[in-house]
Structure 1
Amino acid sequence: MNFFEHQAKARSQSRWIIFAFIAVTLLIVLAVDLIVLVFLAAHGPVMDGANYVSQGALSGIANRDLWANNTGLLLTSSGITASIIGLSSLGKIAALRSGGGKVARDMGATIVTPDTRDPLRRRLYNVVEEISLASGAPVPEVYVMENEPGINAFAAGYTPADAAIAVTQGTLEKLSRAELQGVVAHEFSHIFNGDMRINIRMMGVIFGIMVIAILGRKFLHATSYRRSSRDNNAGAIVAVGIGLMAIGYIGLFFARWMKSALSRQREYLADASAVQFTRDPSGIAGALKKIAAYDHSSYLKGDAEEVSHMLFGSGYRQLMFATHPPLEKRIERIEKRFDPGEIQDLAAKLRKQEHREHAEAIIAQEEQASKAERKKSGGLFDFENMISNIGNPDMERIAAAAMITASLSEGISSAARSLEWAPEVLFYCLLDNDPELREQQLLVVVKQMGDISEQKLRHLLTAHGTVQADQRLPLLEICFPNLKRRPMSDIENILETIDLLAAADKRIDSFEYLLSRLVKQYMFEAHSPNRTKLHGSGKLKDSVDELTKVVSVVAAHGQNSKTAAGLQAAQKAFRAGMGVVDINHTNLSFTDDWQHDLDKAIDKLDELSASEKSKVIAALARTVLDDRKIVTEEHEMLRVICSLIHVPLPILNEAESKG
């Protein structure tokens, strides 16, 4: 199953959650109505012919007159119960709209900043950043649950732009780098496959169902005074409270069943995806074995009920409806020759080596520098496997991402990961090579951002010169986590400054357009994740004109289309791309106003279903690779367009495109 099929399945499962939630809500409404009838039958007279008589609760609820005389009350009770459940669920989901960081902070997690000096946290951030850059997704916020000694992790959020990955302190201390990489890759699979949004909705569903039990508990607490004062109705009120609690916990029983039905299979899929990411089954298998060897050390000290379906391993001991498959089953799917006896051997070994593993983690900070010395390996880019690689960056992509980050100078790298310097790094990427024009841009920065910001820019220029073209997009992705942490007023000013810097030379080149468009979308999704749809239900046959415009723009930017030879090569690439989707357009459509055309076309293509987007990506990839080479401008445009339609494209190397 590839990225697009995972997205379609996630959408289907979201609908299943809604239907199941409605069914459970109806059952709870009926149960509450039954309690109301029991209360009325026990404490109210019932018409028997021309006379009112009192009778037992259980026998009374069978009386037709009781139902007929209290129809309005029952409808009111049903409406109130359904409204409490529905509004509570929607309220909980709305409370989480600020993104995955909100969930992590509610769990007591602490954010890991890019400039952390702790070697274990530095290693964690490097792993997250490498997989993010390799896969073409924005770098998520990274958190650590400091008070949790077990091995566990989770990913939360609505979209990749507002995602957060959190791991326990035990995960940092007890896992090797390869094992940590396997766990993080597992969580990235949940990001790519649409599981995060399902998990957020499930949290809302569970809270809504639990509200009835909470109300019942408060009902009992409120009647304590009545019982002490020997109120004659106290017994009945206590019975109502107990009934509401019972109904709430029966609802929770069904909610746990829903979580189990959804979560277990997706955990298997995430494990398999993690192996595809890293091409190293021993990484994630080793993490699972250590959880087993430490006697199910994935359990959390805090209350894990609400987030249990989001975790890498079981958050607490579950006798029924476990949200995760048994550890042995998960390991067997990864390692076919797994022997359960290995767990006992590993447990004995870990007791002897635990202190040694912590010491090894200290040298993790040296790994990034060593990657800068590696030589880039060649290789033929396999066009036919491109779709299957989306959402599954292999070790070669992760290594390429590590080399890109290692190629950045220490000063630029530190500035991009700094909350105070991140805006200036973005502006730095837009500065022109022409000194005269660059001075005009610096005046724009003074006017918009102030003289301190301009001084920072001059420092970056003096220390590092102008930025290299192939480093601009990675710098944007590295800056993003700190940009979205700034106040909204700052973000609006930064976006306006970007537009003014791009327009300083009276023309907008492809990177200036792409930078502005991508930053705006990332910021919008980070601050309004609940208003973002990752995929729609559109069909490509209804968006042929939009596809034509996008493929035309990519083809034209891959060649010097102002010359006869360049125009001929662009036309050839355009036809090759459109041919992949069996659309026989003979002429590319490229105008001077291509930015406006591309804006409208991308918005329409973003409304396509996941499976239809795979065809768009195939057409774009074939267009770019038609001449068997990728220039920086093409690479930037291809990756950004994919990001704008919510498809994370793995990183490509120039060496990979030669054949």
Structure 2
Amino acid sequence: MDFFAQQARVRGSSRRLVILFVLAVIAIVVAIDAVVWFALGRHPAPGEPAASNLNLLLGTSVVVLAGIGFSSLFRIMSLSGGGKNVAESMGAVVVPPDTTDPALRRLRNVIEEVAIAAGVPVPDIYLMADEPGINAFAAGYSASDAAVCVTQGCLDHLSRDELQGVIAHEFSHVLNGDMRLNIRLMGLLFGILVLTIVGRRVIWFGGGRSSRRDGGGGQVWMIGLALIVVGYIGYFFGRLIQAAVARSRESLADASAVQFTRQTDGIAGALKKIAILSEGSQLQAANKQEVAHMLFGEAGSFNALFATHPPLLERIRALEPGFKEADLARMVAEMQRAAASPPAARTNGPAATSGVPGMPGLPLPSVLTGVLAGGIATAAPAFQRAAAVQQAMPVGLAEAVQQPESALAVMLALALSLEAELQPAQRRIVADAFGDDVARAVDAQAAALTTLTPIARLPLVSLAFPALKQLPDGRQQTLLRALDDLVRVDGRVDINEYCLARLLRIHLQEARAPRRAPVDGVKKLPAARDSVILVCTIVAAAGCSDEAGARRAWLLAMQQAFPGEAIAWSPPPAAWQTPFERALDELDGLSPMAKELVIQALLRAIHADGQVSVEEAELLRVICAGLHCPVPAMSAPA
């Protein structure tokens, strides 16, 4: 499946639906203006000169728009802390990094694997412990402030492959930019619904006894009633548009989950379990409709009018074209046989019941996890490598990056040079910035890093990110400055040093101001021609020890990005870091399809010599972070 093509198509349809949302707000303003004109406007008798109600209608329009706007802004600002605010508003609790619960440990491992494979920082992880249905959502403004929240039903009923499919689905929302739109939809719906609240207040205070004394109570009561009616009608149509926006993006998220995991059994198995379990994907939370468009499945019973997701069978058939509704009945029969088997043959676990029509109350033992998944699937190579990196991580380092101060020490230790003559100067930089205690901690972590494989350096940054976000802003800034000083202590910056400092800077800056994260770009590839050439030049040079090899790799990239054009090769500048960062900033403004061409060109350059170096892999990870897209599948680094 073509991730970027799907992304461009769905973003285009979402923009049209958002325009409909704006039109709905305009219709609300016009309707209230009409009521106000009828109730309070000047209506001259026949034969009298026409009276102007322009000031009245303008004032009403401004008041209504301001009311919707400020209410929406208030709701959006209340969620400005990012994904964790949304998760906590749903009653979810954070999953601690040092949890010893096997189910929660499995959840963390799966999320960390997906984050490493996709090249994004590990998000905050939350659990809705009182929700037995199978559901999940991702919230936030960008990958750097994202939170992934799952229900207890996911832990109780899903196999590891199925849980991985659900998490990959949620990560696609992170990478597609859906989370920012989702939060804004929450704000707009709240702003429209506030009209009904204001209407009730107008009736209660403005249309009461005090207003009836001067005979104006009737008109004020009419305006209050209009606010209530129009507010609910606007909310009704807002929910329709919200559902349409969500349905279009859910289809992309399912497709993206398949692209990430390279298998359909996991996510298809999760959808089948939702179809069969009596709990389905339903939530019990009172404010579930507010986040309905964010969820993996429907928050309540399926309603075609307000459905935020395509029908379950339609989603399953998109993944498995030959699937039929009758297959669910056969699965239930398998469950019946498993339920009738001797107790010793069954695995202990939480029981559930069938939601298949005509078969209520059928027990669904957890031993059937593999039945619905259709067998054990082979994970994508990227996931296999991510799992291998995670499992090979030294235990001491894995524990150190779970706490803010020890994670800071690990990041500083990663920047220390292997050249003994440079280390005293680097230790002085650390001591000056953080004190002797941190300097000693950095020395201890540097010793532990000697057992870390080079390709695990940047994945370790992803694992450390949740802890690093907890550092005070001042300490984060000191960390970034110290990293810059450490990598420049010898007067030059190699690629590994640069990638470490740049990746941390991107993620920490976006986490500190999540609402300022870049929005979708619209520029075409020719508009950023020079930036594409420079980035491809630097990547080609990083993967080759000689200029001839770099030029050959660069030419392949140019053929991919600008076929048929004659472009002259020139080696990368000696001080390449600043131009490289400016180029990435420009490329981030490209449209999804243009970004795809850039990534394909880079892959051509990287694979030109038949192998992937650690430097190439790290550069690509930093480039993808700068372009806000997932790391593509490629060969394993040498």
Normalising by the residue count of structure 1, what TM-score does the alignment of the two structures yield?
A: 0.85
Q: Specify the alignment match of 1:31 in structure 2.
A: 31
Q: 1:95 deviation in Å?
A: 3.5
Change (3 A) 1:185 1:92: same
Change (3 A) 1:620 1:86: same
Task: Indicate the SS of the match to 1:627.
Answer: coil
Q: 1:575 deviation in Å?
A: 1.8
- Asked if 1:341 corresponds to 2:341, the answer is no
Query: Whole-Å Cα distance in 1 between the matches of residues 69 and 17 of structure 2?
Result: 13
Q: How does 1:36-47 map to 2 (within 5 A)?
A: 36-40=36-40, 47=45
Query: Whole-Å Cα distance in 2 between the matches of residues 361 and 631 of structure 1?
Result: 44
- Asked if 1:357 corresponds to 2:349, the answer is yes
Q: 1:651 deviation in Å?
A: 5.8
Any conservation in 1 of the 2:196–2:229 contact (CA below 8 Å)? yes
How far does the alpha carbon of each residue in 1:220-253 deviate from its partner, in whole angstroms, 9 at most, with x for none? 4436963999986555544432221111010011
Change (3 A) 1:45 1:272: closer
Query: Whole-Å Cα distance in 2 between the matches of residues 280 and 547 of structure 1?
Result: 32
Change (3 A) 1:650 1:72: same
Q: 1:199 deviation in Å?
A: 1.6
Q: How does 1:444-455 map to 2 (within 5 A)?
A: 444-455=429-440
Query: Whole-Å Cα distance in 1 between the matches of residues 284 and 123 of structure 2?
Result: 25
Q: Specify the alignment match of 1:572 in structure 2.
A: 552
Q: 1:608 deviation in Å?
A: 1.7
- Asked if 1:307 corresponds to 2:296, the answer is no
Q: Specify the alignment match of 2:233 in structure 1.
A: 250
Q: 1:525 deviation in Å?
A: 1.5
Q: Specify the alignment match of 2:280 in structure 1.
A: 297
Task: Indicate the SS of the match to 1:356.
Answer: coil
Q: 1:207 deviation in Å?
A: 1.6
Query: Whole-Å Cα distance in 1 between the matches of residues 263 and 429 of structure 2?
Result: 49
Q: Specify the alignment match of 2:409 in structure 1.
A: 424
Q: How does 1:468-617 map to 2 (within 5 A)?
A: 468-560=453-545, 566-581=546-561, 582=563, 583-617=565-599
**Is there any run of 5+ residues in structure 1 with no aligned partner, and where?**
51-63, 365-392, 561-565
Q: 1:123 deviation in Å?
A: 0.9
How far does the alpha carbon of each residue in 1:128-183 deviate from its partner, in whole angstroms, 9 at most, with x for none? 11111112222222111223222211111222222221111222222222221121
Change (3 A) 1:342 1:221: farther
Deviates more, 1:68-77 or 1:463-472: 463-472
Change (3 A) 1:12 1:283: same
Any conservation in 2 of the 1:6–1:194 contact (CA below 8 Å)? no
Any conservation in 2 of the 1:130–1:401 contact (CA below 8 Å)? yes
Q: 1:296 deviation in Å?
A: 4.3
Q: Specify the alignment match of 1:633 in structure 2.
A: 615
Q: 1:492 deviation in Å?
A: 0.7
Letter in 1 for 2:348: R
Q: Specify the alignment match of 1:101 in structure 2.
A: 84
- Asked if 1:190 corresponds to 2:173, the answer is yes
Deviates more, 1:281-290 or 1:149-158: 281-290
Letter in 2 for 1:571: R
- Asked if 1:21 corresponds to 2:1, the answer is no
Letter in 2 for 1:39: A
Any conservation in 2 of the 1:257–1:321 contact (CA below 8 Å)? yes
Change (3 A) 1:185 1:455: same
Query: Whole-Å Cα distance in 1 between the matches of residues 169 and 141 of structure 2?
Result: 17
Q: Specify the alignment match of 1:375 in structure 2.
A: none
Query: Whole-Å Cα distance in 1 between the matches of residues 10 and 263 of structure 2?
Result: 26
Instruction: Please point out which of 129, 144, 154 is paired with 1:146.
Output: 129
Query: Whole-Å Cα distance in 2 between the matches of residues 265 and 599 of structure 1?
Result: 34
Letter in 1 for 2:297: G
Q: 1:288 deviation in Å?
A: 2.1
**Is there any run of 5+ residues in structure 2 with no aligned partner, and where?**
352-364, 370-377
How far does the alpha carbon of each residue in 1:434-465 deviate from its partner, in whole angstroms, 9 at most, with x for none? 23322321221111112221122122234453
Deviates more, 1:248-257 or 1:204-213: 204-213
Instruction: Please point out which of 189, 195, 205 is paired with 2:188.
Output: 205
State the superposition RMSD in angstroms: 3.0
Change (3 A) 1:114 1:6: farther
How far does the alpha carbon of each residue in 1:297-327 deviate from its partner, in whole angstroms, 9 at most, with x for none? 3222222121111111111235432212222
Query: Whole-Å Cα distance in 2 between the matches of residues 151 and 453 of structure 1?
Result: 44
How far does the alpha carbon of each residue in 1:65-109 deviate from its partner, in whole angstroms, 9 at most, with x for none? 5xx343311221112112212332234334333322221122222
Letter in 2 for 1:572: R
Task: Indicate the SS of the match to 1:149.
Answer: coil
Letter in 1 for 2:462: E
Task: Indicate the SS of the match to 2:521.
Answer: coil
How many pairs are equivalent? 605
How far does the alpha carbon of each residue in 1:554-594 deviate from its partner, in whole angstroms, 9 at most, with x for none? 1222122xxxxx12222222222222222432423322111
Task: Indicate the SS of the match to 2:290.
Answer: coil
Q: Specify the alignment match of 2:600 in structure 1.
A: 618
Q: Specify the alignment match of 1:168 in structure 2.
A: 151
Any conservation in 2 of the 1:135–1:651 contact (CA below 8 Å)? no
Q: Specify the alignment match of 2:94 in structure 1.
A: 111
Letter in 2 for 1:518: L
Query: Whole-Å Cα distance in 2 between the matches of residues 555 and 20 of structure 1?
Result: 46
Q: Specify the alignment match of 1:71 in structure 2.
A: 54
Query: Whole-Å Cα distance in 2 between the matches of residues 543 and 103 of structure 1?
Result: 36
Any conservation in 1 of the 2:10–2:249 contact (CA below 8 Å)? no
- Asked if 1:400 corresponds to 2:385, the answer is yes
Any conservation in 2 of the 1:10–1:198 contact (CA below 8 Å)? no
Change (3 A) 1:605 1:411: same
Any conservation in 2 of the 1:33–1:77 contact (CA below 8 Å)? yes
Task: Indicate the SS of the match to 1:654.
Answer: coil
Any conservation in 1 of the 2:480–2:501 contact (CA below 8 Å)? yes
Query: Whole-Å Cα distance in 1 between the matches of residues 217 and 568 of structure 2?
Result: 83
Letter in 2 for 1:606: D
Any conservation in 1 of the 2:157–2:366 contact (CA below 8 Å)? no
How far does the alpha carbon of each residue in 1:254-308 deviate from its partner, in whole angstroms, 9 at most, with x for none? 1111022222233233223323333443322222232233324322222212111
Any conservation in 1 of the 2:173–2:253 contact (CA below 8 Å)? yes
Q: Specify the alignment match of 1:57 in structure 2.
A: none
- Asked if 1:84 corresponds to 2:67, the answer is yes
Q: 1:17 deviation in Å?
A: 3.8
Q: 1:397 deviation in Å?
A: 1.4
Letter in 1 for 2:532: L
Query: Whole-Å Cα distance in 1 between the matches of residues 383 and 480 of structure 2?
Result: 30
Query: Whole-Å Cα distance in 2 between the matches of residues 30 and 555 of structure 1?
Result: 59
Deviates more, 1:453-462 or 1:77-86: 453-462
Q: 1:124 deviation in Å?
A: 0.9
Any conservation in 2 of the 1:448–1:497 contact (CA below 8 Å)? yes
Query: Whole-Å Cα distance in 2 between the matches of residues 596 and 355 of structure 1?
Result: 58
Letter in 1 for 2:152: Q
Deviates more, 1:72-81 or 1:290-299: 290-299
Any conservation in 1 of the 2:72–2:188 contact (CA below 8 Å)? yes
